[in-house]
Amino acid sequence: MPTRPGWTLVAASVLAAAIGRTFGVIELYVIAAAAMAAMVAALVAVRFGVSGLRAHRWIHPPILSVGETGQVDLTVTNEGRGRSRRVQLSEPVGPTETALIAVAPLRASQHVDARYRLPASRRGVLELGPLELERHDQLGLAVARRIVAPLVEVVVAPRAYDLPMPDLGHGVLGRHLLTQAQRMGTGEFHSLRDYATGDEPRLINWRASARTEELKVRQHTTEGVRRCIVVLDRDVSGYGGTDGTGSDAFERAVTAAASLVGSSDRAGLTTRFVTAGGIDLRGPDVASTTLGVLARITPGEPLDEIERDPGEGLGLVIVITTSTSGPTWRHTDALLDPTLTRVGIVTGSATRSVEQVGRLGVDASTDERFVAGWSALAGRGGLDVRSQLVRRDPAGVR
């Protein structure tokens, strides 16, 4: 089809012919005929030498995270019998950018590789393509286009930090969990000790207590944390505006959810992710599935009900919210039992966060405060937020 200069040439030739006819100027007829002949020659030229070209596309890694730079690899092969012409690969990248790659003439069965970088500046779905092969004539009057790879969606997951999980006896949370483990007797029997306020009555050894003046309880070996439930509050009223889209507090909440689910899964804990809209994810692929959900998630309705967790052993219920007085926080009450400890991650403004965060809570008014606060709570203080970004293996990107 004609390009913009081509259409201009066609219009000029028609105008020249019209003027030549009106005033009887033979030279204008000649100019019009030459221009049209050039246009026809250009249209014919772009039709040859490209029919045998095939292109393939690979995206590395298949899922990006905010702040990462991916890579798109392209291979163009001449499957025709003759030598191809010079062509150009054109691929839209998102709504505003286009990748352009020139490909020199190829012999029969010859191929060439090309690549371009794919930056991920914000979470969501980045549309890539369709990849078109373009052939221009020497004068730029005509172009032939052919789609060689379809439109694809590249998932850009939220930024995620590699966080430590609590160890019993270390940090505020670890000491709290150790006390819970000792009171619940979640491990194997170790010895008898005197009863202390807060011990579970079911741990009292009545036979041993009958032989002394003090109540005796069974002392068990302590087990570490075995499960983690991450609850994300999507209540739009807590994130400002009419829809909360683009809210910094909501983006921090999504980052916290991605960080905690991924870190919990890597630590070998039985991990579960819950949010409004019937989203309740668990299983061996919970980390990758959660990233896919978080890439597209937006503020919405508050969380209604949460199914009780059937797991066993010590666990954490981590609630990511802007307010501990909202409905999501209240609904997590139904989850709690003596084996589960609730932790609040408050992503509101600095003033509101500090006021709401208690002993088992983290001020997440900035990413830096979130990483430092969680690390301190887990007994691993002093970590640098920049060093805690989850990095994919560079070998995975060609």
Q: Does one domain contain both 122 and 150?
A: yes
Residue 94 lies in a domain: yes
Beta-carbon contacts of 239 under 8 Å, excluding residues fewer than 6 positions away, are 247, 249, 250, 299, 322
| This prediction's pTM | 0.72
Q: The CATH number of the domain where 270 resides is what? A: 3.40.50
Residue 107 lies in a domain: yes
First-to-last CA distance in the chain? 36
Residue 233 lies in a domain: yes
Q: Does one domain contain both 246 and 386?
A: yes
Residue 222 lies in a domain: no
pLDDT in tens, the chain (398 residues): 888 988 998 999 999 889 988 888 888 888 989 999 998 888 888 877 577 888 999 999 888 888 889 999 999 999 888 888 888 899 999 888 999 999 998 999 999 999 999 988 889 999 998 999 888 888 888 888 888 889 999 999 999 999 999 887 778 888 888 777 766 655 555 567 777 776 667 667 677 777 787 887 766 555 678 899 999 999 888 776 544 445 888 999 999 999 999 999 999 999 999 999 899 999 999 999 999 999 999 998 888 888 888 777 889 999 999 888 888 888 888 888 888 899 999 987 766 666 677 788 899 989 999 999 999 998 865 444 444 555 444 333 33
Q: Does one domain contain both 381 and 241?
A: yes
Residue 220 lies in a domain: no
Supply the Cα-derived Rg of the chain in whole angstroms. Answer: 32
Residue 372 lies in a domain: yes
Amino acid at 240: G
Q: How many domains does the chain have?
A: 3
Q: At what angle do helices 171-184 and 367-377 cross, to 10 degrees?
A: 40
Residue 32 lies in a domain: yes
As beta bridge partners, residue 201 has none
Main-chain phi, psi angles of 117, to 5 degrees: -85, 150
Boundaries of domain holding 149: 53-157
